Structure 1
Amino acid sequence: MTTTQWLLNAGLLIFILATNLGTRPVTRRRLILPIILAAVAGILLLSNIPTGGNDLALDYIGAGAGIALGILAALLMRVERNPAGQATSTAGAPYALLWLLVIGGRVTFAESANGWAAAGIRDFSISNAITGADAWTAAFIIMALTMVAARVITTYIRYRALPARVDAGTPQPVRGH
């Protein structure tokens, strides 16, 4: 991995944790900004996706893993209304651990691909018709971007499912059986 790739991964982890850990209001900006950033990153980083052999299948696997991990990340956040009626999300150690494992796993794979696991990854790639490092890079980028998008979309769905603010002083109709 290059220094730039190390910095991008570290920056991504810091940004995700700094903007999501603790209790935060669910705002339009908090929902839209990660989607915009993911779209820009996709445009900048995925301009030339390898399509030979089974490269696209690897991309689909990356997208599926990203969606599953993004949903899991969102489910590790509590989404609720605070006493003032504002929607909030709360993320703690399990959320941070998931992101650390995912980003750490990508970094570990990239480093091991040039070191101790190079022969195994090469042999796996050859036997599964994956054309090389660029195909793996694209799949991991797709995984990261879909993870962010799935986390935001799942959080939005959970936010929309929250009950409307209820005034404690107003009698509410009872819904019977």
Structure 2
Amino acid sequence: MTTTEWITDIALILIVFRQLREGRLDLKSFLIPLGIVAFVAYSYLDTIPTAGNDLALIAVLVGAGAALGIAGGVYTRIRTVDGHVLIKAGVVSAVLWVVGMGARMGFQLWVEHGGGADVARFSVTHQITGDKAWVAAFVLMAVTEVVTRLATIFIRSRTHTVARPVPVLDRTA
């Protein structure tokens, strides 16, 4: 793994630790993770292979990313204090995030340190055309996990907004 890959992977894993402390839900809460996955997608996603069973592999990992993201968003505590929406990632949310982001990093390390032949055999057996399919599947898994987690948090936060008081008209005057 290159230095950039290490930094990117570790940054994606550490995002959740920023949310272990309760903080205000603001634009920064959305832009930082989206910026990181946009950088990852731009850097590593050249094409989306469609031959053989590449799309099936991509669909499975995107589905896993969506499940992890939605569950992570559901297990993020959201509350309103003094008109501000606050979020805090719970233990379950943090574990799901680390599992999802760590799986990609672990897979890459395993392939680079002895697992490459196993992945090649699996790919041939299951008609996966090569490493570009694996890269696309894992990058799209990470993007999907981030987007679905943030979307879930956003949707849930809409129920925690403080309603503004409606002015009462004085009909006696």
> The TM-score by the shorter chain falls in which range?
0.7 to 0.9
Q: How does 1:21-170 map to 2 (within 5 A)?
A: 21-82=20-81, 84-162=82-160, 164-165=162-163
Is 2:7 aligned against 1:12?
Answer: no
CA contact (8 A) 2:85 2:161 kept: no
CA contact (8 A) 2:8 2:36 kept: no
Once the two structures are TM-superposed, the CA of residue 14 in structure 1 deviates from its matched residue by 2.1
Residue in 2 aligned with 1:173? Answer: none
TM-score normalised by the chain length of structure 2: 0.82
> Number of residues paired by the alignment?
165
Partner SS state of residue 113, structure 2: coil
Instruction: Give aligned-pair identity as a percent.
Output: 34
Alignment partners' CA distance in 2, 1:51 and 1:71: 26
TM-score normalised by the chain length of structure 1: 0.80
Once the two structures are TM-superposed, the CA of residue 37 in structure 1 deviates from its matched residue by 4.1
Once the two structures are TM-superposed, the CA of residue 90 in structure 1 deviates from its matched residue by 1.2
- Relative to structure 1, the CA distance from residue 153 to residue 9 in structure 2 (aligned partners, 3 Å threshold; closer, same or farther) is same
CA contact (8 A) 1:22 1:92 kept: no
Amino acid at match of 2:105: V
Alignment partners' CA distance in 2, 1:36 and 1:23: 21
Q: Which runs of 5+ in 1 are unaligned?
A: 168-177
Once the two structures are TM-superposed, the CA of residue 74 in structure 1 deviates from its matched residue by 0.8
